[in-house]
Structure 1
Amino acid sequence: MKPWREIAVPHQDVLEGSFQQSEFAADITAVHTGRAPREYQDAVAFFERTFITEGMGLLLTQVAQRLAGRGGEPVIQLQTPFGGGKTHTELAVYHLATRACPLSDLAGISVLVERAGLMDVPKARVAVLDGTAHSPGQPWKRGKQTINTLCGEMAWQLGGEEAFRLVSEADAHGISPGKDVLRDLLELHAPCVVLIDELLAYIRQFPEGKTLSGGSFDSNLSFVQALTEAAKLVPNTILLASLPESEVEAGSQRGVAALRALEKTFGRVQALWKPVATEEAFEIVRRRLFEPVRDPQAREAVCRAFADAYVAEGAKLPSETQERHYYERLVQAYPIHPEVFDRLYEDWTTIDGFQRTRGVLKLMAKVIYRLWKDDNKDLLILPGSLPLHDGSSRNELTYYLPAGWDAVIEKDIDGDRSETVELENKEPRFGQVGAARRVGRTIFLGSAPSSVATKATTRGIDTARILLGCLQPGQASSIYTDALNRLADRLHYLNSSGDKAQDTTRFWFDTRANLRREMEDRKRRFDDKTEVRVKIAESLKKVVGHVGFFDGVHTFTPHADVSDDTALRLVVLPPEYWYTREESRLAVEAVLDAVQKNGAKPRYRGNRLLFLAPEHGSLSRLKDAAATALAWSSIVDDVKEGRLTIDNLQQKQAEKECKSAEEVLPRAARECYKWLLCPGQDAPTDPKPAVEAFPLNTTGGSLGSEIERVCLDNELVISTWSPIHLRTLLKDLYWKNGQIAAKASGLFEDTLRYLYLPRFKSRDVLLQAIRSGTASRDFFGTAYGQNGETFEGFQFGGGDVVFDDTLLLIEPEAARAYEEAHGPAAPTTGPEPETLGVADTPDDTVPPVPPGPGPAPRPDPVTAKPKTFHASAEVPTATAKMRLVQIAEEIVSVLCSDPNATVRLVVEISADFPEGASDTVKRAVSENANSLGLKSADWE
């Protein structure tokens, strides 16, 4: 497809940039006096560049019929918004009436004459009354004749000195000559046309209650009323007058009063003229600025490509782009996109002073001139194509806006050092299509007028219209959506409101820096090593502070404050100890330091620590997210405390952004802290510990579950252990050099210290492995102490164990040999025989019957139920802990299961010291007895 510049070539004066003097100097007085440029002065040239709209066609038909005496409206009031084409329409009437060429030479006129049912249109005398050409209190000369009033000026233009004599007396006294005199004047010089332009500008100058040389306020209104009545009585005379539409254009209160009076005067006989429609404006601008299209097929191919691209994008664009007629709008507006016209005619024309037709023409002429000079290759001139970096084009828009917009454009939209240019330089995919600048220009064109809107209006434009102003065939809308999202996070003057999730967000620029700039300024105040660090720590505590897999989580805690105990702990390293595969020194040194030191003291249980480290590449984003959250939070707090004054919309935005920043921070922390570091050693002979790094999946579930998964999958932490592994470990490290038994408590203590040993989640893991191993004769035997060659409480291949400080794990071959030498171990599935009777010796006891399935024995109906139970037991000191636990679980708890039972437990301790108890033992036992509240504790 060809760019617009190869299909639609601008007029030469547009290309040369001389349009300020020629294209927009529409002045009916200059044309009437022969001083206008050729484009306005020559009738043929004028109609070549004039698109005859529906309203203008109807008016010219009325004029033709009236001048031919074939009907038509006698008085027509042209009342449109400022810049609506009133003067241009009067010029069309002027050239039709005063032409010096055949009608056929005037483009578009022959069709109108035929529509009026005429063969020709008679030439006519024309009087032009320009309200800005004369002063009411200052007479002017026509030859030797002095003229004071508009009435005298009209007579002179229609018939010179002879015609002036009819109104000379009225002119001298500044009064209206009356309807009959004016009728005679018009009949004498008919067919004639009276064109009154800017009448309000003349009438409103009369002081209230005073008479000037030009008459008074009332006398001029009387003249206008008499003229309208006289024109109605002369069949081939027509009167056209232009009035502004709004009170704002009328000016002062005096002007508003004059406008209302003129509206009533013309309202009696007027025929209102239909203003220019937006679609007609397409052709007006095209004809005024461009030569005829040289290649219609190329134009239609481009427009069809745009229409198809819009249909493909579907709901991402405004609904009207999905309709069939939008293709026709593209063809009508070519080479300018219809969205440019829509924004100018719907938004910019609401600004006081922006002319509806002339203002658009001036702007687009400068835009086209700059785009042509810059060799623009766009397929159409879109809102995103506007060269706002060009001072001349920019001034045409900022002239109608309050002060301050130049800085906005220079900083955020289209300056050489603007944020949009900087973003495009950093992101090649944006720079290839100028995505950031196009988005900024489109938002500006669609939102700047709302900053000065006098009526309540919805600020900004939505994403669909932004895409419509940027997208061209062959491009993906996602690139502009991405650019918009990036700009929304970094531009200082771009504001937004609405819900992104529901696609209701609207964007607009304003001269006041948005809260984002305030936030950016505040971000720089927070120090990375103090406030930012504390904020990151708070966020990490939310992310990893409740990981139930660990007994404790320490965030940015010095190693002196991490307890050296049996608890399994996760240490979160500070940001300065970051980790990467390429550079791990900082994190590794911090890990080894914490494993080996506990402040100034050495650490004895370093195998209970695991470490979480940040990824260096994500650290800057985490710090930025923390500073952003701090900045928004400070803004919200200042607003609540009255230290910062903003409007309600900005307050809601600040609260929303603060909430969003607080939600982003934990995600950033999760993505940054992605390395689990585990210290370890392969063997006791290794010269120094090593640190192994395990990456965490940052996109899965909670961080706690992910850390637990990595720990268990890689056996960094053992949660279940097989007795096979326990036997292997005992053989390798403990059952050697003549040692056949190892303390279980010592083994567990070693796993807390030495990095080459397994890291158990808790003591219970080792206990379960021991209990599993005691059920078999393949792994180890157990005992609760060793006295010479004798194992106290020896067991092998059965029974339960109590994991206390006396528990021994015996090498299985040694256990078999011991069993053969000393006999099998006593059964330990229940209490020992001496615990179940009242006799003093084991010989008097009866072994209990093991419980088993089957019906319970039927009670003897004759025997009375027992009501009291007494028992005493001799408890061996070597197995005291185990036996007391068994008694409590299997006797006492059963007795207490009956809610009506009253159970009283008395523990009797007797100890004999043949050589006397030492002072140390006596003192310790007495103090412990006292603290435990023993009923009696006496020494003899």
Structure 2
Amino acid sequence: MVELQPWLDVVKPHRDIAEGTFSEEMFAADLGTVAAGAGLKEYRDPVTFASKTYLTANLRTALVEIGRRLAGEPTVPAVQRLQTEFGGGKTHTLLSAYHLFGSPEMVEHTGLARDLKKHLKGGVVPKARVVVLDGGGLGPTAETMRDGTVVHTLLGHLAWRLGGAEAYEAVREQDEKLLATSTLQLQRLLKQYAPCLILLDEATEYLTKVMEMRAVEGSLAATTLTMLKELSTAVSNTPSACLVATLTSSRNEDYAAVTGTDMHERVSKAIGRVEHVVTPVEGDDVFPILHTRLFEHVGAEADRAAAADAFSAYYDQWGDSVPGHFREAEYHSRIKAAYPFHPELLDLLSNRWGSLSGFQRTRGVLRILAHTVKALKKAGHRGPLILAGDVPLDDAGVRAEVIKISGESFKAALNADIIRGDSKAAQVDRRAGGEAEAGRVAVRLATTAFLNSFGSDRFPGATNHQMITGVGRPGLSNGVIKDARDALKNTAWYMRYEGGRYRFTTEPNLNKVIVEKESAVPDDVLAALLDEMLQKMAPNQAPWKVVRNVRQSVELPDEPRLVLGLLDSTYRIGSNETAETLAHAKTVLTERGTAGRTNKNTAVLVAVDAFLWDKARNEARTLAAMRDLRDDTHRLRRFNGEQREDLLTRIASFEGRLPHKVVMAYRQLISLAGGTDGNGGTVVDQDDLGPAPAGKTIVAQVTEFLRARDRLLDGLAPGALLSARFALLPEGQEAVEIRRLLDAFHRFPRLPRLSSPEVLRTCLVNGAAQKLFALASGTSWDAPDAVIRFGESVDPGEVEFQDGTWLVRAATAQALLDARNPQPEPEPEDEPEGGDPRPGPVPGPGLPPPPGGGSPEPEPPSGPHRLSVHVQGVPADKVRDVVKTAVLPFATEGAEVVVDFVIAVEADVAFEPHTLDLVVKEGLRQIGVEHQVNDPDQ
């Protein structure tokens, strides 16, 4: 298979096109100008013109018919009317006939003449007198010819151009008196100068000019119509005479509004009795014409076929998103034939734009595409084809042509949304980055929508499939295009989505009106909206008491219970604000007003991430603006029902997203650390809570974060109360009041937080039952009447955190109990000879090694130094358990542990885009791990 190459590496533009030195006059041929010996050489010189003319099948047919008529074949129609759309090749056909039959000896060696000779009698191109009657160039008043002859009417011009002053004398009286002639008189004139070819161009325009001029028999226009009818008959009755007339089929030419349309019908009837209608350019005939005019060559067949193959395969991937004919063999052939242009671009310009008044189809298309090729060549365009989205609207030449159609009023839309470096489409591409930014996908989508916004279609604008084919090319993923399209729809200021079509208007759309209203949102409205969201996403939720918008330390309660304070959003983590925020947080956590804070281990703070808070504020400002627009009934009347529905949909979407944005922003957890700095000062810990799953509150985020790190406990092992790490019962101290134990958990940041006193109560009950320690109550723990609970079940309701209840070491409690219940000493036994046969104490915790030496050194573990653990099919609610069970044990022993996750997700309904983008992808980026998300649907 041939490698798909950029079109610029395959084709070769004409030098003047590539360098941009071409004159736009070369795309604006005028028959009257050429007949007068003026105009560009490309049109004036017969050889140059013939060498640059592509002979379409219809053009060949028209020229052969004319040639056969001039050669005297009586069966060939004498009157040929060129039926074209405005700018559909009629002028080029007239010029071809003018040069070919007026100067056959000059063009006989050109490909044009050689081709036609094959179809003409005797293989000869006949020479004829060629008369040009240019309705656009002829005026309503008398004109003095170069020999001094003064002519007044179309009849006079015909006679003089046929045979000069001699021929004019035959019609002088009718010409000077503005009289009609007769068919017989015209036949004699034509016969005298045959073979003759009369090229009548834009007769309607001439007749409109002379409509108000009075003649003997009414208006000069009526007299001229009679002459045209008689001329048609005379030509038909004169061998070797031929009349070729053009009547632009568009009824929207601005000659005289309704009058011009009526005149068009009357001229058509005048010559239509004997005419033969010819359409020189139709359908895909325009493809080779463009190739001939713009390129020296369009590359090898294999390269064009490779492009067609690649695009056909690409459209297969889109399935029903593009019409079925894009995947058919016929369209494959069209791609190859139109190369390097995409057929959709040429159809858009030729058909949609070609139907517009004032847009000459072939000329206009040539001008736009010439500037397009020039600009893309200069920019080093690397696309495989030139698509609609590739048309460079930022090029002055292209833009000038487009503005002729759209009107000056669309300049604001072009500047705001497409052509400037800071345009809305360019901003969408930069935000997306990667493939979208490199391929300027949003800019090209906007260009596609803009070009499709004009034409005679009842419903202007680009459909979804036209947006796809306007930018889609092999290698560009579906998801990138769809994401850019959706982002552009919600960003552009002048592009609207109505009736399933994207189109540009001169009126600002919802996006721009919303932006205008955003700047007017009062600060108090914005603050109230954010506080509304904060109340929703930070409720009082066990085990926390929540205090919002903490500004001063006195606002955070100092209580023996868990308190979660949300710092006011003026205190932010990020950029150069972090140090100030941490210093303020330290003050809040260690003080309350002018006094020191007692319960330093019950309070934590959460501050906003500066960047994410700005995003949340922007989202809130937009929501406030949209709500204001919704309530502005006067302004809302400017939008149709579909747009008003879109506004309500957007409001609902933002109302659903904003709470999560607020949770995402409140993610910086600040708490007192267990240690001190080098000078014995208090240290604060700052932890990023990470991205929050959709629907989760700030409180839940904090709770889960602390629990996962054992900094918030729902359960406590009894042995921990005796551990050196907790240091709750110093060495040498036999008992501690349980009230003081609870106070310690409330006051000392070196200890974990307890979700409630119930955690400690359960721990004490379990420890007493397991004989790890005893619970004693009374006036003192060692009072003779103290109640000691040791190795027995204790009802948790009996454990009160008040004076008079102690935790007592197990050995001490046992000693107290033994003292209360002394056991009789056993009778001494005779020691057997050879020493005491009873085993001695086994060394263990708290027991010294036996005399004569210590225990032997333990052997080093014999397990592996390296291993991998494969765990499969873990449900989401068990992931944390797997980490605790299979990851942390190795990590705590100092091993280097690396975990690779393959997360398979499947749901019955589609995920919300922000769940994937804002929660998953953004969260993974922020914790700095390499990741890749694969969507099998794309």
2:282 equivalent to 1:252: no
Checking the alignment, whether the CA contact within 8 Å between 2:389 and 2:447 is kept in structure 1 is: no
Is 1:153 the equivalent of 2:157? yes
Which of 260, 270, 276 does residue 275 from structure 2 map onto? 270
Alignment CA distance shift 1:730-1:157 (3 Å): closer
Question: 2:105 aligns to what SS in structure 1?
Answer: coil
Which of 585, 589, 592 aligns to 1:591? It is 585
SS at match of 2:199: strand
Per-residue Cα deviation, 1:395-440 (whole angstroms, up to 9, x for no partner): 122122221434444444334665667788899857995x33x752
Note closer, same or farther for the CA distance 1:613–1:177 as it changes in structure 2 (3 Å cut). same
Give the letter for the 1:269 counterpart.
V
Shift of 1:545: 2.8
Matched, 1:625 2:606: no
Letter in 2 for 1:96: L
| 2:83 alignment partner, SS class | strand
Rounded Cα–Cα distance in structure 1 between residues aligned with 2:666 and 2:598: 27
Q: Does the residue aligned with 1:240 lie in a helix, a strand or coil?
A: strand
Deviation, structure 1 residue 524: 4.9
Q: 1:18 & 1:778 partners in 2: Cα distance?
A: 97
Q: Specify which of 222, 227, 234 is matched with residue 230 of structure 1.
A: 234
Go from structure 1 to structure 2 and tell me whether the alpha carbon gap of 1:265 and 1:807 turns closer, same or farther (over 3 Å shift).
Answer: farther
Moved more, 732-741 or 101-110: 732-741
Deviations 1:760-797 (A, max 9, x none): 21222233233334545442134365699454766543
1:714 aligned partner: 709
CA 655–558 in structure 1, closer or farther in 2 if over 3 Å, else same: farther
Instruction: Give, in angstroms, the shift of residue 184 of structure 1.
Output: 3.5
Residue in structure 2 matching 1:64, options 62, 67, 75 = 67
Cα distance change of structure 1 residues 376 and 403 upon mapping to structure 2, 3 Å threshold: same
CA drift of 1:758 comes to 4.2
Residue 105 of structure 2 is matched in structure 1 by 101
CA distance in 1 between counterparts of 2:200 and 2:770 reads 119
Alignment check: 8 A CA contact 2:726 2:751 kept: no
**Equivalent residue, structure 1, for 2:913:** none
**Is 2:764 aligned against 1:770?**
yes
Letter in 1 for 2:717: S
Aligned to 1:839: none
Which residue type is aligned with residue 56 of structure 2? T
2:543, 2:756 within 8 Å by CA — same for their partners in 1? no
- 1:360 aligns to 2:365 (yes or no): yes
| Partner residue of 2:58 out of 55, 60, 72 | 55
Q: Could you tell me how far apart the structure 2 residues matched to 1:581 and 1:791 are?
A: 64
Alpha-carbon distance in structure 1 between the residues aligned to 2:6 and 2:213: 63
Counterparts of 1:424-443 in structure 2, within 5 Å, are 429=434, 433=438, 435-436=439-440, 439-441=442-444, 443=446
> 258, 273, 285: which one pairs with 1:280?
285
Residues 78, 86 of structure 1: 8 Å contact kept:
yes
Please give the residue correspondences for 1:664-813 in structure 2 after superposition, counting only pairs within 5 Å. 664-681=657-674, 687-698=680-691, 700=693, 702-703=696-697, 705-726=700-721, 732-733=727-728, 740=735, 742=737, 744-783=738-777, 789-791=783-785, 795-796=789-790, 797-800=792-795, 801-804=797-800, 805=802, 808-811=805-808, 812-813=810-811
Matched residue, 2:598: 604
Q: How do residues 380-391 of structure 1 correspond to structure 2 at under 5 angstroms?
A: 380-391=385-396
Q: Which one of the candidate residues 569, 574, 591 is aligned to 1:575?
A: 569
- Aligned residue for 1:23, secondary structure, equals helix
What TM-score, normalized to structure 2?
A: 0.75
What is the letter of the counterpart of residue 257 of structure 2? Answer: S
Query: Does the C-alpha gap of structure 1 residues 799 and 650 become closer, same or farther in structure 2, counting only changes over 3 Å?
Result: closer
Query: Deviations for 1:496-529, whole angstroms, at most 9, x for unmatched residues?
Result: 568xxxxx7x54444444443444455455688x
Corresponding residue of 2:536: 542
Aligned twin of 2:459 = 457
Equivalent residues of 1:343, 1:446 under 8 A apart: no
Which residue is 1:399 aligned to? 404
Q: 1:25 to 1:456 in 2, by over 3 A?
A: closer
Checking the alignment, whether the CA contact within 8 Å between 1:336 and 1:380 is kept in structure 2 is yes
- The residue type equivalent to 2:715 in the other structure is T
CA displacement at 1:34 relative to structure 2: 3.0
- Comparing 288-297 with 75-84, greater Cα deviation is found at 288-297
CA distance in 2 between counterparts of 1:709 and 1:264 reads: 88
Contact 1:175 1:215 in 2 (8 A): no
- 3-state DSSP class of the match of 2:714? coil
> Structure 1's 820 and 380: CA in aligned 2 closer, same or farther, altered over 3 A?
closer
CA contact (8 A) 1:139 1:146 kept: yes
For residue 235 of structure 1, report the CA deviation from its aligned partner: 4.4
For 2:120 and 2:576, the matched residues in 1 are separated by 88
Structure 1 position 600, deviation (Å):
4.6
**What is the Cα deviation at residue 83 of structure 1?**
1.1
How much does 1:207 deviate? 4.3
SS at match of 2:229: helix
Q: Could you tell me how far apart the structure 2 residues matched to 1:817 and 1:658 are?
A: 73
Does the C-alpha gap of structure 1 residues 227 and 647 become closer, same or farther in structure 2, counting only changes over 3 Å? Answer: same
Structure 1 CA distance for aligned equivalents of residues 146 and 604 of structure 2: 104
- The answer (yes or no) to whether the contact 2:636–2:644 under 8 Å persists in 1 is no
The answer to whether residue 77 in structure 2 is matched with residue 77 in structure 1 is no
CA separation of 1:10 and 1:453: change in aligned 2, threshold 3 A: closer
Q: Name the aligned partner's letter for residue 224 of structure 2.
A: N
Asked if residue 343 in structure 1 is aligned to residue 348 in structure 2, the reply is: yes
8 A contact 1:137–1:214 mirrored in 2: no
User: Are the counterparts in 2 of residues 774 and 781 from structure 1 also a CA contact under 8 Å?
Assistant: yes
User: Alpha carbons of 1:215 and 1:147: their partners in 2 closer, same or farther (altered >3 Å)?
Assistant: farther
Task: Tell me which amino acid in the other structure corresponds to 1:574.
Answer: D
Contact 1:204 1:217 (8 Å CA) reproduced? yes
Please tell me whether the aligned partners of residues 174 and 215 of structure 1 are also in contact (alpha carbons under 8 angstroms). Answer: no
1:299-378 matches, within 5 Å, as 321-372=326-377
The answer as to whether partners of 2:80 and 2:243 remain within 8 angstroms in 1 is yes
Aligned residues: 811
Match of 1:413 among 414, 418, 423: 418
Give the partner amino acid of 1:604.
T
Output the amino acid matched with 1:42. Answer: D
**For residues 473 and 147 of structure 2, what CA distance do their matches in structure 1 show?**
62
Cα distance between partner residues in 2 of 1:275 and 1:544: 75
* Structure 1 Cα separation of the partners of residues 102 and 292 of structure 2: 23
Backbone CA RMSD of aligned residues:
4.2
Q: Deviations over 1:164-212 (max 9, x none)?
A: 4544443343233233333343344333322211111111234469438
Which amino acid in 2 is paired with 1:723?
A: P
Structure 2 residue identity aligned to 1:444: T
Q: Displacement, 1:353?
A: 0.7
> Does the CA contact (< 8 Å) of 2:80 and 2:244 recur in 1?
yes
Give the AA of the match of 1:341.
L
| Aligned mates of 2:818, 2:15 — CA distance in 1 | 120
Distance 2:771 2:679 in 1: 34
Alpha-carbon separation, structure 1, partners of 2:303 and 2:725: 88
Question: Aligned partners of 1:740 and 1:402: how far apart in 2?
Answer: 93
CA–CA distance in 1 between the matches of 2:310 and 2:376?
22
Deviation, structure 1 residue 330: 3.9
Residue 28 of structure 1: CA displacement? 1.8
Larger Rg: 1
Deviates more, 1:786-795 or 1:661-670: 786-795
Q: Could you tell me which residue of structure 1 aligns to residue 836 of structure 2?
A: none
Match for 1:193 among 182, 192, 197? Answer: 197
TM-score in terms of structure 1 length: 0.75
CA distance in 2, matches of 1:557, 1:651: 41
SS in 2 for 1:220: helix
Counterpart Cα distance in 2 of 1:176 and 1:533: 86
